[in-house]
A and B are shown apart, each in its own frame.
Chain A
Amino acid sequence: MNSSLTFARMESLPHKNVCHEPTYRELFYAHARHVRNFLCYKGAATTEAEDLMQEAFLRLWRDCAKVPVEKVKSYLFAVSGNLFLDEKKHEQVVLKFQRQAPSEEATEENPHFDLETKELQDRLEKAIAQLPENQRIVFLMNRMDKLKYAEIAERLDLSVKAVEKRMHLALMELRQILKGI
Chain B
Amino acid sequence: MENNDHDDILLPDGSSGDDTLLARWLAGDLSPEDLEALRNLEEYPDYVEMLHALEGMEMEEFSPTLAWQKLSPQLAVGSQQSAADMPAPSQPTEDIEETPAPLPEAAQQPEAKIVEIGAKQATSPSPVIVNLKSSILNRKYLAIAATVLLGVVGIWWFASRDQFSYTDTDYVTKAGEQKEVKLPDGSVATLNAMSKLGFTANDWKDGRSVVLEGEAYFKAKKGKTFSVRTEQGTVEVVGTVFNVFARGNELEVKCAEGKVQVINPDETERVLLKKGEQVSIMGGKMQKRQGLAFYPNWFKGESTFRSAPLEKVFEEMERQFGVVVLADSIGERTFSGKFVNKDLEKAVKMVCNPMKLNCEVRGDTVWVK
> Is B123 interfacial (CB 8 A cutoff)?
yes
Query: In the complex, which residues of chain B have a beta carbon less than 8 angstroms from the beta carbon of A117?
Result: 52-53, 56
Chain A residues, Cβ within 8 Å of B121: 51-52, 55, 83, 86-87
Which chain A residue lies CB-closest to B314? A7
Q: 8 A-B contacts, Cβ less than 8 Å apart?
A: A4-B248, A6-B72, A8-B324, A62-B133, A65-B99, A161-B20, A165-B20, A171-B22
Q: How many A residues touch the partner, as a band?
A: 35 or more
Q: Given known contacts A28-B71, A33-B64, A65-B100, what 15 new A-B pairs fall within 8 Å (CB)? A: A1-B73, A20-B86, A21-B79, A21-B83, A24-B75, A58-B122, A66-B89, A83-B121, A102-B53, A121-B53, A164-B23, A164-B24, A167-B26, A169-B19, A174-B50
Please, which residues of chain A bring their CB within 8 A of the CB of B82?
19
User: What 9 A-B pairs come out closest when comparing CB atoms?
Assistant: A4-B248, A167-B23, A164-B20, A102-B56, A19-B86, A164-B23, A97-B57, A55-B121, A102-B55
A59 at the interface (CB under 8 A from B): yes
Contact with A along B26-55 (1 / 0, CB 8 A): 110000000000000001001101111111
Which residues from chain A contact B26 at a C-beta distance below 8 Å?
142, 167, 171
- B339–chain A nearest beta-carbon distance, Å: 17
A78 within 8 A of partner (CB): no
- A86 vs B121: C-alpha distance in the bound complex, in angstroms? 9
Known contacts A36-B62, A99-B56: A58-B83 contact under CB 8 Å: no
Q: Determine whether B163 belongs to the interface, using a CB cutoff of 8 Å to chain A.
A: no
Q: Which listed residue (B71, B76, B90, B122) contacts A2, Cβ 8 A?
A: B76
Q: Inside 8 A of B53's CB, which chain A residues have their CB?
A: 102, 117, 120-121, 124
User: Is A18 a contact partner of B115 (Cβ separation < 8 A)?
Assistant: no
Q: Which residues of A contact B61 (CB under 8 A)?
A: 98
Chain B residues within 8 Å of chain A by Cβ, number: 81
- Whether A1 contacts B249 in the complex (CB less than 8 A), given A61-B75, A87-B121, A167-B22, comes out as yes
B92 proximity list for chain A (CB < 8 A): 65-66
Q: Which of A11, A40, A53, A65 has the most CB atoms of chain B within a 10 A radius of its CB?
A: A65
Check: B196 CB closer than 8 A to any chain A CB: no
Q: Complex: how many Å from CA A68 to CA B88? A: 9
A window 32-60: CB within 8 A of B? 32-33, 36-37, 40, 46, 50-55, 57-59
A64 vs B86: C-alpha distance when bound (angstroms): 9
Partner of B325, one of A5, A7, A20, A24: A7
A32, B46: Cβ atoms under 8 Å?
A: no
> Which of A3, A96, A125, A142 is close to B69, meaning CB atoms less than 8 Å apart?
A3
Distance in angstroms between the alpha carbons of A142 and B51 in the assembled complex: 12
Checking A11, A50, A62, A124 against B329 with a beta-carbon cut-off of 8 angstroms, the contacting residue is A11
> Given A2, A37, A50, A125, which contacts B79 in the complex, CB threshold below 8 Å?
A2
A65 touches B23 (CB 8 A): no
The answer to the question of A181 belonging to the interface, with a C-beta cut-off of 8 Å to chain B, is no
Residues in A whose Cβ lies below 8 Å from that of B24: 164
Give the complex CA separation of A7 and B75 in angstroms.
15
Which residue of chain B is the closest to A61 with respect to CB atoms? B75
Q: Which residues of B contact A26 (CB under 8 A)?
A: 326
Query: Measured between alpha carbons, how far is A99 from B118 in the docked complex, in Å?
Result: 37
Say yes or no for A129: interface residue by CB 8 A criterion: no
Q: Are B71 and A57 in contact (CB under 8 A)?
A: yes
> Across the interface, do A175 and B46 meet the contact criterion of CB distance under 8 Å?
yes
How distant is the Cα of A101 from the Cα of B120 in the complex, in angstroms?
Answer: 41
Q: What separation, in Å, do the CA atoms of A96 and B99 have in the docked complex?
A: 44
With contact pairs A19-B83, A32-B68, A59-B115 given, residues A120 and B49 touching in the complex (Cβ less than 8 Å): yes
